[in-house]
């Protein structure tokens, strides 16, 4: 089972192009200035079977979307369930571009099987004192937009 809060059908700030964004419930970071503090509680949101969520996402994806972004909360807190969702999506749409946002650092989670299934990881906790609205696809300067395929291949962080 996985918990999500809502699905945004059309975002242009959570990755390149028009994206479908799935906001997963639960976050342990409690970053000051977070724009989704209502997603902090781990036991709220909608609890659903992983395949059911994947099917909902696949029904919502259309030719205008350039990919799917999993945000939150912190999706990595539900890493096993998210892996099931993404594997189901990949089995039907292997070409789909998938991004994940997390407060964890790549170096601390680079061994997760989930990472082999995604294209981009935006890592690092949001820091209010490093907030910069001119940054592309991230909220604070400490966060990184990481090309996961290249990073895993090179065994070091490769920024997008």
Using pLDDT thresholds of 50, 70 and 90, give the confidence band for residue 41.
Answer: very high
pLDDT in tens, 76-125: 999 999 999 999 999 999 999 999 999 999 999 999 999 999 999 999 99
- The answer to the question of residue 56 being in a domain is yes
- Please provide the size of the chain in residues: 160
- The answer to the question of residue 59 being in a domain is yes
Report the CATH number that the domain containing residue 148 is assigned in CATH. Answer: 3.20.20.70
- The answer to the question of residue 160 being in a domain is no
pLDDT at 35: 87
| pTM beyond 0.85, yes or no | yes
Q: Is residue 28 a contact partner of residue 77, using CB atoms and an 8 Å limit?
A: yes
Handedness of CA 141, 145, 146, 148 (dihedral sign): positive
Locate the DSSP E strands across 49-114. 65-72, 98-101
Q: For residues 111 and 92, what is the distance between their CA atoms, to the nearest angstrom?
A: 25
- The answer to the question of residue 57 being in a domain is yes
Q: What is the total count of domains within the chain?
A: 1
pLDDT in tens, 57-71: 999 999 999 999 999
pLDDT at 74: 97
Q: For residues 129 and 142, what is the distance between their CA atoms, to the nearest angstrom?
A: 10
What's the domain range around 131?
Answer: 2-154
Closest CA to 74 of 146, 129, 5: 5
**Number of helices and strands (H, E) in the chain?**
4, 7
């Amino acid at each position: 089972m996985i918990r999500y809060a809502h699905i945004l059908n059309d975002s242009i700030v959570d990755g390149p192009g028009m994206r479908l964004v799935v906001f997963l419930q639960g976050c342990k970071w409690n970053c000051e200035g977070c724009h989704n503090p209502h997603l902090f509680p781990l036991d709220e949101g909608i609890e659903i079977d992983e395949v059911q969520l994947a099917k909902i996402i696949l029904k919502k994806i259309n030719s205008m979307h350039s990919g799917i972004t999993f945000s939150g909360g912190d999706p990595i807190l539900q890493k096993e369930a998210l892996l099931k969702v993404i594997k189901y999506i990949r089995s039907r749409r292997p070409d789909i571009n998938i991004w994940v946002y997390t407060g964890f650092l790549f170096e601390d989670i680079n061994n997760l099987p989930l990472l082999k299934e995604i294209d981009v990881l935006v890592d690092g906790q949001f820091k209010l004192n490093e907030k910069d609205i001119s940054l592309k696809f991230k909220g604070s300067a400490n966060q990184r937009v990481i090309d996961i395929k290249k990073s895993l291949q090179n065994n070091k962080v490769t920024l997008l």
